[in-house]
């Protein structure tokens, strides 16, 4: 029993320490994302994109880079772009970019892993888009895309595009940024809470032998062979499917996998797999139909496994594979709360958050559309329950820490 209490305390402190390390990065990323979404607007994106082509895919990728990292928000926007007349390939390019190429994700990866993974994430995002484009061009029947467009529905009502130059200089514009900022937090708090809690539990309770069994070849002192690398790359999406944590919540868990010897390719495959989890599959089925949903997930699986392998061996040949440097998981829980740059950055961004909250509360605003679809209510309820259970677990862990 004493061992369990000690592990429970360590798990809670590890989860909270992870979040403390990442808090300023979340705030910075969502301030940038919210500002872009208010001043660029989805309507401007729709008007700039067209049918599949190099220009449309490049624009979709760029807009995805500027957009939100929330998977549900990205799917809803992709559906909206598709309904407006964008080709399926640009719509999916936007989806892949907005969950793999965004600024806040790179910051979080840098905190928990290393710059190698940041570079790999961004290069991999481009490869994901290019490989998905190629697979769709070679395999998608035209009739399937037409059926999916009918399922998605007709064009949405046109909305006026504001003048961003005037908006950025006005209090109204920054009030909208404040509302969007808290909406971003509203979309990710469940994924982040559950993801960070799971990472702490795994760090405290799961023995190293589990990872060497699940990820064949993990922990080997020599470079694993291609067979082991391929198997780990295939296991990565499977692990992501059963944890179904969003792109921002699975990075601490990825750092634990890395610390336990999982290969570079296996980690990348795990991080790229936020769009092949069941809640996302279900939402896609509501938007595009089950047939197209399974097809898109299949395309993403082919793309992410291929990308993880290409990036792994590209880094290997270039001599850029990380050498197993210390990750955030290996830092002692108490050390994560020491007085350093993280403390001052967190205090600064908490102050900015307070100002944004004051802006949000000081002026009544028009009703804004929530990014989550009503069809995602099942996933929302499940994640909310898991997040509430996580809060109870963390509170219990802190309690036993104080009592002990």
- Cα separation, 69 vs 62, whole angstroms: 13
Helix intervals (H) in 153-277: 164-168, 171-205, 208-214, 226-243, 251-259, 264-271
- Cα separation, 134 vs 77, whole angstroms: 22
- With CA atoms as reference, report the closest residue to 257 among 220, 308, 302, 212: 212
- Cα separation, 70 vs 186, whole angstroms: 10
Place of tokens 């998608």: 140
Region class of 153: left (phi > 0), else alpha (psi between -120 and 50), else beta = left
User: Domain spans of the chain?
Assistant: 2-152+163-403
What pLDDT was estimated at residue 367? 45
Taking residue 355's Cβ as centre, other Cβ atoms within 10 Å add up to: 11
Show pLDDT as tens, one digit a residue, over the chain (404 residues): 688 998 999 899 988 988 888 888 888 878 877 887 788 666 666 666 656 678 888 888 888 887 766 676 677 778 777 876 778 898 899 899 988 988 888 988 998 898 999 999 999 999 999 999 999 999 998 888 888 888 876 555 555 667 777 888 888 889 988 998 898 788 778 878 888 888 888 888 988 788 778 888 777 767 788 999 999 999 989 888 776 666 667 888 888 889 888 999 999 999 999 888 777 787 788 778 889 999 999 999 999 999 999 999 999 999 999 876 445 445 555 556 677 788 899 999 999 999 999 998 877 544 444 444 444 466 678 778 989 999 999 999 999 888 86
SS3 26: helix
Helix intervals (H) in 206-250: 208-214, 226-243
CA–CA distance from 212 to each of 77, 252, 313, 323 (Å)? Answer: 39, 19, 21, 18
CA–CA distance from 327 to each of 190, 210, 267, 332, 359 (Å)? Answer: 24, 19, 13, 11, 38
- Cα separation, 391 vs 365, whole angstroms: 31
User: Cβ distance 190 to 279 under 8 Å?
Assistant: no
Going by C-beta distance under 8 Å and a sequence separation of 6 or more, which residues neighbour residue 236? Answer: 265, 266, 267, 268, 269, 270, 272, 273, 308
């Amino acid at each position: 029993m004493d061992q369990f209490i000690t592990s429970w305390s360590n798990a809670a402190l590890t989860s909270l320490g992870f979040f403390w390390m990442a808090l300023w990065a979340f705030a910075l990323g969502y301030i940038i994302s919210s500002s872009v979404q208010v001043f660029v607007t989805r309507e401007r994106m729709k008007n700039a994109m067209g049918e599949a082509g190099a220009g449309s895919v490049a624009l979709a990728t760029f807009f995805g880079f500027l957009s939100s990292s929330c998977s549900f928000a990205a799917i809803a926007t992709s559906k909206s772009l598709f309904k407006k007349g964008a080709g399926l390939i640009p719509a999916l390019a936007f989806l892949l970019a907005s969950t793999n190429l965004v600024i806040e994700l790179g910051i979080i990866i840098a905190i928990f892993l290393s710059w190698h993974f940041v570079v790999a994430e961004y290069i991999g995002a481009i490869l994901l888009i290019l490989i998905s484009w190629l697979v769709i061009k070679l395999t998608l029947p035209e009739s399937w895309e037409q059926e999916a467009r009918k399922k998605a529905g007709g064009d949405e009502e046109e909305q006026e595009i504001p003048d961003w130059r005037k908006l950025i200089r006005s209090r109204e514009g920054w009030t909208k940024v404040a509302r969007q900022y808290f909406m971003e937090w509203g979309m990710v708090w469940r994924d982040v809470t559950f993801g960070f809690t799971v990472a702490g539990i795994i760090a405290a309770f799961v023995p190293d032998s589990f990872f060497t069994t699940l990820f064949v070849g993990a922990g080997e002192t020599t470079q694993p062979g291609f067979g082991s690398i391929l198997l780990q790359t295939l296991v990565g999406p499977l692990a992501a499917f059963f944890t179904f944590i969003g792109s921002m919540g699975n990075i601490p868990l990825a750092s634990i996998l890395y610390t336990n010897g999982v290969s570079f390719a296996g980690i990348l495959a795990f991080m790229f797999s936020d769009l092949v989890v069941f809640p996302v599959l279900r939402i896609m089925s509501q938007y595009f139909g089950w047939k197209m949903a399974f097809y898109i997930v299949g395309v993403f699986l082919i793309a992410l496994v291929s990308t993880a392998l290409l990036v792994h061996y590209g880094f290997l040949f270039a001599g850029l594979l990380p050498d197993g440097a210390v990750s955030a998981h290996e830092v002692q829980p108490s050390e994560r709360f020491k007085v350093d740059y993280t403390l001052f950055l967190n205090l600064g961004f908490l102050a900015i958050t307070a100002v944004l909250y004051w802006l949000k509360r000081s002026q009544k605003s028009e009703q804004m559309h929530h990014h989550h679809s009503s069809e995602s209510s099942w996933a929302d309820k499940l994640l909310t329950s898991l997040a509430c259970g996580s809060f109870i677990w963390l509170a219990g862990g802190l309690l036993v820490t104080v009592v002990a």
